[in-house]
Structure formats: structure tokens, C-alpha cells
């Protein structure tokens, strides 16, 4: 356990350590853990503890691009309490992970390009202080994991993932995830790259495909789009068929496929 000293600027010297119960969590599941505190040389009134779920998002502004950190969920995990000098206090918490939370790990491995975190905010003596980010690893839902595996089986090769600022139709998030692939297998004839976006909910998810389509005779390359819905209570064959149909629709060129 490693305590980090907070509120040094206010002379409080309160130390805090946030410990998550598990290494990964899925969208829609509870994130559990405990916030541990250790008092300094005097008694202090802790006015509240909040946790922020954060994500590093890419923002386009004119011809420039930069990255910034967004808080996409904020929850109070404790109200006021007295922290005696040198005393230790532990505050358990449970936060429901939003269904639309982006994926940041697959198969126990971090997803390249993704940075999610949990940040602890302490309100003490009328001031606020935020600790360092604790990494948050979010595994895909079973339906998401199946579609990612289907793309691998079709010959697509993972490139990277990132978060883009903006709100898509049907979404409540201020950003959306793009999981990028190099086209492979038979699909190399039609696409250069493919981008995949999930908008997940409790019973179903929307899948958005965007492909950089190869140019043909007398045509230049351009983007093609497709969107379909996968219900969690249907078999994997239904999702496979919807994915294949979506790719075919984007690959069509003047009725040829």
C-alpha cells in the first residue's frame, strides 16, 4: 500500500491511497474498492470524498490536434467525517460503470492508445485536492469481445484505439471510441483501414463501422459507413451475420462485390 500525501499546500499533510478490488471491470458492472486515509499532525474535518472516472480524449481544433482529460463519471463516496491526528480511516465504495465506458483492455492486456483512470478528490478545510490517476482497465462485454474476435478471424489486424471528442446519435458520452484495424484477408481488396465504435446499453449495443474504401477504376478512395444493432440475448451467429452484412454493404461499388 502506497499512501500519497495530499493537501500539502494547505499544511494538512493528509495521506490517501485508493485501492481497487479487481484489476479489470466490464461496462455495466460495479467497480469496488476502498479509499484509505491517514491523518497528519492535527485533527481535520474531511468534508467529502469524490471519485472521478476519467479518460484521455483527442480533440481536433481547426488544423490542430491535442489531448485532454475528461471526467465521464463523478460520484461522492463519503460525506463529512472527523480525521484525528495520525489516525487511519478506510472508506469502501461501489460505483456502477456506465454501459458506454470505452474498452481499455482485451484478454488481460492494455489496449494500445487507451488511457482510463480513477481519480480521488478530497475536500478538506474548504479546499479541494485531487490525487494521481489510478489506471482503470475495462474489459469488453461478451458481445463486444465476440465481434473483436470475429474481425481477427476475418483477417483484420489491430492498429490502435483512441477516443475522439463528440457525441454520436444514441450516445450520452461527450466522446466516442474508435478501434482501428488494417484490412486483411479478402477485405484488403475493398478497404485500407476499418474503424469500429460501440454504443452499448443494458440489452443491446449499436455497432458503427467506418472504412477507408479503396479507389477503383476512375474513382478515388473514400469513406464508407454502416451501423447495426446486436442484442445480447441472440446467438453469436446473428452478430457474425450482421458484421459480415455490414462489411459487404460498405464494400459494394456500383453493385459489384
Report pLDDT digits (tens) over 71-103.
999 999 888 888 888 888 888 999 999 999 999
The CA distances from residue 253 to 70, 215, 219, 257, in Å, are 40, 10, 10, 7
Q: Say how far apart CA 17 and CA 1 lie, in whole Å.
A: 7
CB 202, CB 28: distance < 8 Å: yes
What are the pLDDT digits (tens) for 37-79?
Answer: 887 777 878 888 889 999 999 988 777 888 899 999 999 988 8
According to the model, what pLDDT value does residue 5 have?
47
Cα(226)–Cα(125) distance, integer angstroms: 53
pLDDT band at 160 (very low <50, low <70, confident <90, very high): very high
pLDDT at 219 over 50: no
At 215, is the pLDDT very low, low, confident or very high (cuts 50, 70, 90)?
low
Instruction: Please give the C-alpha separations between residue 238 and each of 132, 165, 196, 241, in angstroms, as whole numbers.
Output: 43, 31, 18, 5
- Please give the mean pLDDT across all residues of the chain: 86
pLDDT-based confidence at residue 8 (cuts at 50, 70, 90)? very low
Calculate helix-pair angle for 236-251, 142-153, nearest 10 degrees.
Answer: 50
Q: Which of 252, 243, 156, 151 lies closest to 206 in space, CA to CA? A: 243
**Residue 10: per-residue pLDDT:** 47
Structural domains of the chain in order of their starting residue, each with its CATH number = 4-138 (2.60.40.640), 142-251 (no CATH)
Query: Phi, psi (5° rounding) for residue 149?
Result: -65, -35
Task: Rounding to the nearest 10 degrees, give the CA dihedral for residues 26, 30, 31, 35.
Answer: 180
Does pLDDT of 242 surpass 90?
yes
CA 142 to chain centre: 16
**116: nearest Cα among 161, 166, 182, 50:** 161
**Taking Cα atoms as reference points, which of 128, 37, 120 lies closest to residue 71?**
120
- Three-state DSSP class for 10? helix
pTM of the model: 0.86
Amino acid at each position: 500500500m502506497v499512501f500519497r500525501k495530499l493537501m500539502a499546500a494547505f499544511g494538512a499533510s493528509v495521506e490517501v491511497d485508493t485501492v481497487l478490488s479487481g484489476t479489470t471491470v466490464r461496462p455495466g458492472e460495479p467497480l469496488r474498492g476502498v479509499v484509505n486515509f491517514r491523518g497528519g499532525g492535527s485533527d481535520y474535518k474531511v468534508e467529502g470524498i469524490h471519485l472521478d472516472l476519467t479518460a484521455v480524449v483527442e480533440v481536433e481544433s481547426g488544423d490542430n490536434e491535442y489531448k485532454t482529460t475528461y471526467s465521464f463519471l463523478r460520484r461522492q463516496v463519503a460525506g463529512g467525517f472527523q480525521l484525528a491526528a495520525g489516525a487511519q480511516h478506510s472508506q469502501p465504495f461501489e460505483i456502477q460503470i456506465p454501459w458506454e465506458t470505452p474498452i481499455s483492455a482485451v484478454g488481460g492486456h492494455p489496449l494500445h492508445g487507451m488511457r482510463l483512470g480513477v481519480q480521488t478528490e478530497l475536500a478538506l478545510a474548504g479546499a479541494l485536492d485531487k490525487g494521481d490517476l489510478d489506471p482503470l482497465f475495462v474489459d469488453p462485454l461478451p458481445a463486444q469481445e465476440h465481434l473483436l474476435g470475429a474481425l481477427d478471424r476475418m483477417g483484420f489486424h489491430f492498429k490502435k484505439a483512441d477516443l475522439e471528442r463528440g457525441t454520436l446519435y444514441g450516445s450520452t458520452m461527450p466522446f466516442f471510441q474508435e478501434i482501428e484495424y488494417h484490412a486483411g484477408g479478402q477485405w484488403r481488396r475493398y478497404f485500407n483501414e476499418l474503424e469500429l465504435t460501440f454504443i452499448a446499453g443494458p440489452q443491446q449495443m449499436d455497432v458503427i463501422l467506418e472504412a477507408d474504401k479503396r479507389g477503383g477504376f476512375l474513382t478515388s478512395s473514400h469513406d464508407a459507413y454502416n451501423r447495426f444493432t446486436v442484442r445480447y440475448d441472440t446467438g453469436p451467429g446473428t452478430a457474425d451475420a450482421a458484421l459480415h452484412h455490414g462489411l459487404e454493404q460498405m464494400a459494394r461499388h456500383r453493385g459489384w462485390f
